[in-house]
Structure 1
Amino acid sequence: MLIEFIPEVGHFALIVALFMALVQATLPLAGATLRKPLWMAFDRPMAAGQFGFLLLAYLALTLSYLLDDFSVANVAHNSNSMLPWYYKLSAVWGNHEGSVLLWSLMLSGWGFATAVRSRYLPRDMAARVIGVLGLVGVGFLLFVLLTSNPFERLLPNVPSDGADLNPLLQDFGLIVHPPMLYMGYVGFSVVFAFAIAALLGGRLDAAWTRWARPWTNVAWAFLTVGIALGSWWAYYELGWGGWWFWDPVENASLLPWLTGTALIHSLAVTEKRGAFKSWTVLLSIATFSLSLMGTFLVRSGVLTSVHAFANDPSRGFFILVLLAITVTLSLVIFALRAPKVGYSTSFTWFSRDALLLVNNVLLVIMTVTVLLGTLYPLILDSLGLGKISVGPPYFNALFVPLTVIMCLFMGLGPVARWKHMPPGELSRRLWLAGAAALVLGALAPLLYRGEWNLWVSLGIVIALWIVLPLVVDLVTKLRQAKSLKRGLSKQSLAYWGMWLGHVGLAVTIVGVAVVSHYNVERNVRMSPGTSVEVAGYRFTMTSLGERRGANFIADTSLIEVQREGASRHFTMHPEKRLYLATRMPMTQVALRPGLFRDLYVAMGEDLGDGSYAMRIQYKPFVRWLWLGGLLMALGGIIAVLDKRYRRAKAAEKSVQGACA
């Protein structure tokens, strides 16, 4: 039967993709060095071929899941005949082997997209960029084939059914969260490839940053959405009601996001002013290296986390070697080419250049802070010096103040001019915005149930300080244009993207401040007929029941909720599920979402007398956390659509002129 050969087709496709990646990684780079056009011409066909064969391998694994081919070890360990088909699709990447295959597919997809768009680049530059991406592809394909082959068989002892997918992963959030996160991780390989190609070619000018900047924005937007989705999933799926736990794997995704944010701003300065060239190259290397480190942490077995996939140290060692090679070779190339990195611009400390530099330094310090808190316990444990836990107190004590300082400088940036701006002029432009932020931030908490809180007030002040200078800058531009319509039309999409990105951060800060200090939680014992009041809402359990799902049975409860003073009520339906294949219990939270508050009910353990432990929470402004993330990502995408990035031929002339 055809089904018997599908895994072999996938395995063969992986091997072919590896050989194509080897060609892509060698001939184009050699051709660019030796100026052999024929060798360089292999770059685009090999990139397309690698993507095509990896797509074939991924489809083969997906078909094995959909057809319940339990002779494939990966399918037998992570699926079940009762598993709904849509969870079988997510089960493909809901494990170590499948996730690394998806990572490799996405890496080849970014390489293919780069090859398609590289026709507007100088030929040797394109060959180097695609060649570097080929080198990264070789590393990951070797990793897949040597340590993490998703097509290994269980022949002749084929189980009658599979072990099932981890119930934690049987959720819509886990269908969309990993692909978004991987797209962000892998996307930074493109700007890394551009940085290395620019170093190899001795072309550290504004031209390469202009071409690499859109790819960076898109990767950063994907990573932002991925992190937001991960936070949202943890919030409603784990039953705790928290949105960020400073889990080491959560930190692993935050690290490249922080340096990626710094990289976006550094690229803007290099493109606009020709400055920060060293910063831009080093941040490109650091961001992709931290993406690889995240892969190591998740797949090495050194961490215990609901997000972690693997527990095989040999796999972790392979990625650690890949990370070491990447970082070492990149820094060696940078050191050898560093004399060619010029500093052709100057600026004073009262300028947009300086403010962006300060914020970049702060973002790097924040990255180091999170990195140390994540790795320090692992280092101590590996040296036999004992086990310690670094939790929220450490991260909150250091990360939050650094964020506040960074936001203070962010407010100054939009109204400051490049190169130089007199301090007096800067203060004249911003004193009103600063005063308004202080007054409104101090009064705003009083509007919320009459409860004033210092930390909430500080959060709102910081958020307003980010937004109000943007308003000042826009009003100034509209006045200069002397026409509202003309002034709005003159602003570029990159400008509006910056607007959305900064506003998104302000929205997230408001959400963090309010939900962290005004959250109301009660853990209660409830049985049919009992009621409890939480934050002005009365929750009444009216009945208990049972429900059968596709692969689980569930104890259910019906909760009637009525707001104080309201005549209408609504119902909520929390569940306690037991998955049949794994016998694993899971809490299915009931949510009543809203823009300004969430009602959250989690059904706990059966207490044995017809009553259940229930966790009821009132979570104000929690949705603003993820709304802010989506606004930031949308800002990154809108900036990519700016007309200067769509003028491909003009970009080609600019690059070629700069290289002449």
Structure 2
Amino acid sequence: MIPELGHLGMILALCLALVQGTLPLIGAWRGDRLWMGLAVPAAWGQFAFLSFAFVCLTQAFLVDDFSVAYVAGNSNSALPWYYKLSAVWGAHEGSLLLWALILSGWTFAVSVFSRQLPEEMLARVLGVMGLISVGFLLFLIVTSNPFARLLPQTPVDGRDLNPLLQDFGLIVHPPMLYMGYVGFSVAFAFAIAALLGGRLDAAWARWSRPWTLVAWAFLGIGIVLGSWWAYYELGWGGWWFWDPVENASFMPWLLGTALLHSLAVTEKRGVFKSWTVLLAIAAFSLSLLGTFLVRSGVLTSVHAFANDPERGVFILIFLLVVVGSSLTLFAIRAPVVRSQVGFALRSRETLLLVNNLLLVVATSTILLGTLYPLLLDALSGAKLSVGPPYFNALFLPLMGLLMLTLAVGVLVRWKDTPLRWLSGMLAPVLLASVALALLAAFVLGDFAWAVLATAFLAAWVVLAGARDLLDKTRHKGLLKGLHALSPSYWGMQLSHLGIAVCALGIVLSSQESAERDLRMAPGDAVELGGYRFVFEGTRHHEGPNFVADRASVRVFDGDDEVAVLHPEKRLYTVQRMPMTEAGIDAGFTRDFYVALGEPLENGAWAVRLHIKPFVRWIWLGGLMMAFGAALAACDRRYRVKVRARVREALGLAGQGA
């Protein structure tokens, strides 16, 4: 009975989404306040019913209701309860329900915290988000119902969750990633609402920017968590593989980065209006493209959820409708909302435009490398693999140029910048960056051009930020000046510092890492990277739904023991699938990483040993960027009186009751 109630909840949410996506838009067009007022209660009702449906599906997993086909296919009575919880979104149907729930949650948040918007603008924003919900809910109900029953042939037990997904990463990675993916629908809705209303101004950019900052932060955290998960779970020692599904989340993040900077220019100077709208449309369109790639069956990947071509056709049609209609509206309305303000060549506007162009070109190279093999296969049947050499050769130089311009962009002024003043600001930064790059290469004992260039660029970005900080505080005194700076400024500084830290982590972990694949028997020792690894053999271990051979590997620096690692080779008893669990000793400047291969004769094993220097800096830098965006979203310009908004929302709900 509860699964049927969950199904009913989805249907009622669809009905409310239809109301939300039509009547408020018509009301805004006709100036009918009654119809515009339907947007908020419809958004609340949709969120309530989808929350109820999600709770129903979660309950089915927790009580092992194997009469539900989705539960039977992705759970097992021996599965620990926390993996049963994450199994709710561990496959296609449940992940799509989570997507719809998060979309309704974003809509609810906009309805509560955007009451300062003009009534017509709020109605249009919520109306556009309602139409997006209609598309996803139709897809969910028509093709991907998570509450479908297996009656009367109910299995005694389930097939179990994919062993690759029985990990903490599944609990945190997809929700964070979806919060970012779906969050760009808010920026898209604001852009479409502005086009419909013919109002693209500083106020519009100020309304849209905090939502975009939060969505970008969530997507960044989701990507970082996915990279970390792949690093320790797959047993290869890698953190990024340029997998098409990885690219699907990275592309909207890159365009979201461009969108944030473009919104800043529109808010400050009133320029780039049409460009900003186009970026908002493109960022959300790439989020939908990622949904298509993951769920259409066109990709074979550990990340892919579905392989049903009919589902892929539905999403493709929805993608074409969204992109086609939004671009058509843009073509019609762009002349009305184009920018009327110019800008000088030596200005922050110019540097941010260069920033945008580099990010768009980088995104385009990834898009080409991701889609070209698929198009070639579909048109000619030819198989082509586009791997890391292509992406690294094109993407990394663009990111180097981006870091070069980033530091200059921090220091230049709005409108115009005297060249002599700018040269005086940059000269000490340039000299100090060269000195620090040489010092870093000397300390590392590696003067490879990649190390030197990355150390220089990282120092260039960090020192330019410090130079700007000193310039902004020189008249007020250090402490008073620091206190006067806005959260938006501190968020920018933290994000730029995160870029430098991440770049150092990427290059140093790639250039300085050491690895060996070898046969090791109990008592064997091997030297790697100045450390001695001693293999002590394996012992049997039993988990809740798996059996494992757990090894012990001790690591010595001279005579001092510095780490003990316990890699495992697991066999999951239901699906009879072997899995490798790496043993990792994490450190701020290096990781020891050991993975077991196949068992050999006389107690020996194939073993993979890694020393990964500075690999943690990659994820630290990513988190710094995300937290910088969250800090910027707390700026007083975007701040609303949260308690007052919640109290107002509860009061309106009470009046409605």
TM tier, smaller: over 0.9
| Structure 1 residue identity aligned to 2:446 | E
Structure 1 counterpart of 2:536, one-letter code? T
Instruction: Report SS of the residue matched to 1:350.
Output: coil
The change in CA–CA distance for 1:371 and 1:569 in structure 2 (over 3 A counts) is: closer
1:528: how far off?
Answer: 0.9
Asked if the contact 1:221/1:634 (under 8 Å) is kept, the reply is yes
Note the C-alpha offset of 1:543. Answer: 2.9
Please tell me whether the aligned partners of residues 529 and 540 of structure 1 are also in contact (alpha carbons under 8 angstroms).
yes
Amino acid at match of 1:117: F
Kindly provide the amino acid, as one letter, of the partner of residue 609 in structure 2. I
Find the counterpart in structure 2 of residue 618 from structure 1: 611
- SS of structure 2 residue aligned to 1:644: coil
Partner SS for 2:601: coil
Please tell me whether the aligned partners of residues 355 and 406 of structure 2 are also in contact (alpha carbons under 8 angstroms): yes
Superposed displacement of residue 648, structure 1: 6.4
Gaps of 5+ in 1: 653-660
- Counterpart CA distance in 1 for 2:319 and 2:335 is 25
Q: Give the TM-score, by structure 2 length.
A: 0.97
What whole-Å deviation, never above 9, does each CA across 1:533-581 have from its counterpart, x for those lacking one?
11111111123210000000001111111112x4344321110000000
Aligned partner of 2:588 in structure 1 is 595
The residue identity in structure 1 corresponding to 2:156 is S
Query: Superposition pairs for residues 302-313 of structure 1, below 5 Å?
Result: 302-313=298-309
Separation in 2, partners of 1:569, 1:169: 31
1:628 aligns with 2:624: no
Amino acid at match of 1:336: I
2:76 maps to which of 71, 76, 80: 80
CA contact (8 A) 1:120 1:648 kept: no
The Cα of 1:212 is off from its aligned counterpart by 0.8
The partner residue of 2:276 within 269, 275, 280 is 280
Partner of 1:643: 636
Cα deviation per residue 1:19-51 (whole Å; 9 max; x = unaligned)? 000000011000000111111111000000000
Q: CA deviation at 1:180?
A: 0.4
Match in the other structure for 2:488: 494
Retained in 1: the 8 A contact 2:259–2:276?
yes
**1:533 alignment partner, one of 527, 538, 541:** 527
SS of equivalent residue, structure 2 residue 274:
helix
CA distance in 2, matches of 1:501, 1:615: 35
Range with bigger deviation, 10-19 or 332-341? 332-341
RMSD: 1.2
SS at match of 2:114: helix
How far apart are 1:422 and its partner, in Å? Answer: 2.3
Q: Which runs of 5+ in 2 are unaligned?
A: 646-657
Distance 1:570 1:519 in 2: 18
Cα distance between partner residues in 2 of 1:531 and 1:567? 15
Matches within 5 A, 1:131-530: 131-448=127-444, 450-481=445-476, 483-530=477-524
Cα distance in 2 for partners of 1:45, 1:620 equals 53
Provide the rounded CA distance (Å) in 1 between the counterparts of 2:427 and 2:542: 62
**C-alpha distance in 2 between matches for 1:176 and 1:127:** 33
- Output the CA distance in 1 between the equivalents of 2:315 and 2:249: 16
Letter in 2 for 1:165: L
**SS of equivalent to 1:543:** strand
Distance in 2 (alpha carbons) for counterparts of 1:648 and 1:288? 29
- Could you tell me whether the CA contact under 8 Å between 1:460 and 1:513 is conserved in 2? no
Distance 2:299 2:346 in 1: 44
Name the SS of the counterpart of 2:638 in structure 1: helix
Runs of 4+ deviating beyond 4 Å: none
- Report how far residue 416 of structure 1 moved: 0.2
Q: Secondary structure at the match of 1:156?
A: coil
What residue in structure 1 maps to residue 567 of structure 2?
Answer: 574
* CA displacement at 1:397 relative to structure 2: 0.7
Shift of 1:423: 2.3
* Structure-2 separation of matches of 1:533 and 1:74: 49
Q: CA deviation at 1:344?
A: 2.6
- Per-residue CA deviation, residues 404-460 of structure 1 (Å, 9 max, x unaligned), is 111110010111001111223212110110111112112202212x23322111111
Instruction: Figure out how many residues of one structure are paired with residues of the other and give that number.
Output: 643
SS in structure 2 at match of 1:617: strand
Deviation at 1:175, TM superposition (A): 0.9
CA–CA separation in structure 2 for the residues paired with 1:208 and 1:434: 38
- Check whether the contact 1:204–1:340 (CA below 8 A) recurs between aligned residues: no
* Aligned-pair CA distance for 1:473: 0.5
2:417 and 2:120 mapped to 1: Cα distance?
40
Task: For 2:242 and 2:334, locate their aligned partners in 1 and report how far apart those are by CA, in whole Å.
Answer: 37
Q: Distance in 2 between matches of 1:528 and 1:647?
A: 63
Greater shift, 120-129 or 534-543, is seen at 534-543
Q: Determine if contact 2:554/2:561 at 8 Å carries over to the other structure.
A: no
SS at match of 2:564: strand
Alpha-carbon separation, structure 1, partners of 2:517 and 2:216: 39
